[in-house]
Chain A
Amino acid sequence: MKGGVRKFGSAERRLLPEGRLSGPMPWVIAIMMFLSVLAAAAGLGLGGTAESLGEDIGSRVTVQVLEQNPDRREAEARRAVAELGRLPGIADVRRLEQNEMEDLLEPWLGPGGLQADLPIPAMIDVQLDTATPAALETMRTVLAQVAPSARVDQNSQWLAPLAGLISALRWLAVGLVLLMVGATAATVVLAARASLDMHRSTIEVLHLMGATDIQVARLFQRRIALDALFGGIVGFLAAAIALLLIARRVGALGSDLIGSTNLPAASWALLAALPVLGVVLAMLVARATILRALRRML
């Protein structure tokens, strides 16, 4: 014997009936886990989108040279590319090629719709190190001198409402995950109490034989952990399948922006940790609930 509060071994685990799930709790946990993983995945995916908005798209500027005369437009565009390339704080300057312009306009003009006599602005894609107001002002000043017809469009300006929406959705996802955690804990409390009531006579016998509260609580903890593990795995697998199907659909859209919601491996690892966290949460809640109930007994 190793003292008064030794763990029960495999034989003692049979003190509570084993071999089947304890009522609806594992399935409720599976549903909670399914929703938690979806909410967490949405939060992580939106995080990736927000990041790409901030780093890739948000720091980009599009310069349009609107001069109607093709020769002057070409000259302004060349000067603008050359001058912008010399400015500090600009990571990359690239003029869109004719075929890229045709691809962009094809949805509106149809194949071969880009006629030679149709005035199309020259487009210059500028990647800034950081889109600070000072850098933009410098750009505008330089462009006013070398390309008076140039117009500067800061991408982050029209993306700001979208970024705000994404941020709100991320917080909503975090809130949903926390709500699921709370609901899972409440489910475990109810299940632990029900299990305690169901096995009250066995617990009384164990108590009268000198079993400590910790010994009794461990029996329930183990049962509830197994139920939570079952529910967690089922919920996670169902959510993973749903996410993979959604990812395939999103991939079929071919949109860069929506495509950025794809989850990297690190995010999948975080999602896979949710069932483990669920088991730990269930064990802690069950333990606290059982110990509290046992303290009411002599």
Chain B
Amino acid sequence: MQAIAPLSMVYAARAGVPLRSGVSVLQVEAGLSTAGTIVQFDNVGLRYGTGAETLSDLSFSLREGGFYFLTGPSGAGKTSLLKLLYLAQRPSRGLIRLFGEDIVTMPRKRLPGFRRRIGVVFQDFRLVPHLSAFDNVALPLRVAGVEESDIEGPVGEMLGWVGLGHRATARPATLSGGEQQRVAIARAVIARPELLVADEPTGNVDPEMAKRLLHLFDSLNRLGTTVVVATHDLHLISSIGRAEMLRLDRGQVLDPTGALRHPPRRADT
């Protein structure tokens, strides 16, 4: 396995380049040093159509800079919960606060600004099929309006970081499942999101690559990103010592560690 460069070096290539309107990398780091609640759910329910509630009475909060594993059996509602987190869905009831703002009643036109602060690794990758691996990874930066001259270096380095530097021009259809997953992960973290949401991110990779990707999430978390990873992999869960667990069962959240109660517990307490 090749030596892993510190993730901060990848981001350092973009230091000073604003991630969002008026907020630079350094400012984001400074902002994240202030502990607080990044996600808060209060009695949240989600129902698709007229069916039964997929998620019921969810009440928990996640603190800024935390590392969370979301577990639970298949059909427990993990993906639905993640959809609420990455703003693909609004709840049927209840209150969700994200980055300190109520996103349930938030006007639709404000959502893009919030979405740019979230990185998502989809279970089915959702790579754009006619774009190369490079262009897929560059997508969040281009959406955010980063100049082309500031894209090539970091994207190339990020692809190298996930072991796909030599596959930059390959289309998703020519990549293996594991390679697609790594492209999806690189795309999710390239803009250095404040919140990273990953749905079974290591499901298609070998243990060595899983370890490497987890190291990526860990590094990102140490730089201040709040990480939420949905997984069945108990080995993965045990590999991050400071991580907290959110267990979901039949659409309801269990809080085995007590970490999710209000107010959120500080990491150092």
Interface positions of A (Cβ within 8 A of B): 1-4, 6, 8-9, 11-12, 14-15, 17, 201-202, 204-213, 215, 295, 298
Q: Which residues of A contact B20 (CB under 8 A)?
A: 1
Q: Convert B186-225 into 0s and 1s, putting 1 for each residue whose CB lies closer than 8 angstroms to a CB of A.
A: 0000000000000000000000000000000000000000
Is the Cβ of A1 less than 8 Å from the Cβ of B144?
A: yes
Closest to A215 in B: B143
Is the Cβ of B90 less than 8 Å from the Cβ of A4?
A: no
Is the Cβ of A14 less than 8 Å from the Cβ of B140?
A: no
Q: Convert B44-80 into 0s and 1s, putting 1 for each residue whose CB lies closer than 8 angstroms to a CB of A.
A: 0000000000000000000000000000000000000
Taking the closest CB of chain A, its distance from the CB of B26, in whole angstroms, is 15
Q: Which residues of A contact B143 (CB under 8 A)?
A: 12, 206, 209-211, 215
Is the Cβ of B116 less than 8 Å from the Cβ of A298?
A: no
With A17-B130, A205-B139, A298-B108 in contact, do A210 and B146 touch (Cβ < 8 Å)? no
A34 CA / B84 CA spacing, docked (Å): 51
Q: Convert B89-122 into 0s and 1s, putting 1 for each residue whose CB lies closer than 8 angstroms to a CB of A.
A: 1100000000000000000110111111100100
Taking the closest CB of chain B, its distance from the CB of A94, in whole angstroms, is 75
With A4-B113, A205-B128, A295-B108 in contact, do A210 and B140 touch (Cβ < 8 Å)? yes
With A209-B116, A215-B143 in contact, do A11 and B87 touch (Cβ < 8 Å)? no
Q: Which residues of A contact B116 (CB under 8 A)?
A: 209-210
A11's partner among B88, B113, B130, B135 (CB-CB below 8 A) is B135
Q: Which residues of A contact B112 (CB under 8 A)?
A: 4, 207, 210-212
Chain B residues bordering chain A, tally (CB within 8 A): 34
Q: Does B142 contact A (CB under 8 A)?
A: yes
Q: Which residues of A contact B87 (CB under 8 A)?
A: 208, 298
Interface of A is mostly: loop
Interface positions of B (Cβ within 8 A of A): 17-18, 20-21, 86-90, 108-109, 111-117, 120, 126, 128, 130-131, 135, 138-140, 142-148
Given A15-B131, A205-B126, 6 more pairs with CB closer than 8 A = A1-B147, A4-B21, A8-B142, A11-B138, A204-B126, A298-B108
Taking the closest CB of chain B, its distance from the CB of A295, in whole angstroms, is 7
Taking the closest CB of chain A, its distance from the CB of B108, in whole angstroms, is 7
A33 CA / B99 CA spacing, docked (Å): 52
A210 CA / B116 CA spacing, docked (Å): 5
Closest to A1 in B: B145
Taking the closest CB of chain A, its distance from the CB of B168, in whole angstroms, is 14
A1's partner among B117, B120, B130, B146 (CB-CB below 8 A) is B146
Taking the closest CB of chain B, its distance from the CB of A20, in whole angstroms, is 12
A-B contact pairs, 15 of them (CB 8 A): A1-B147, A3-B145, A11-B148, A12-B142, A14-B130, A204-B126, A208-B86, A209-B116, A209-B139, A209-B143, A210-B143, A211-B112, A211-B143, A213-B109, A298-B108
With A14-B130, A202-B128 in contact, do A4 and B115 touch (Cβ < 8 Å)? no
A204 CA / B140 CA spacing, docked (Å): 13
Taking the closest CB of chain B, its distance from the CB of A272, in whole angstroms, is 35
Taking the closest CB of chain A, its distance from the CB of B141, in whole angstroms, is 9
A2 CA / B131 CA spacing, docked (Å): 24
- Of listed B114, B120, B128, B131, residue having the most chain A CB within 10 A: B128
Is the Cβ of A210 less than 8 Å from the Cβ of B115?
A: yes
Q: Which residues of B contact A207 (CB under 8 A)?
A: 112, 115
Taking the closest CB of chain A, its distance from the CB of B215, in whole angstroms, is 24
Closest to A206 in B: B143
A6 CA / B147 CA spacing, docked (Å): 11
5 smallest CB-CB distances across A and B, nearest first, come from: A210-B116, A6-B145, A210-B115, A1-B145, A210-B112
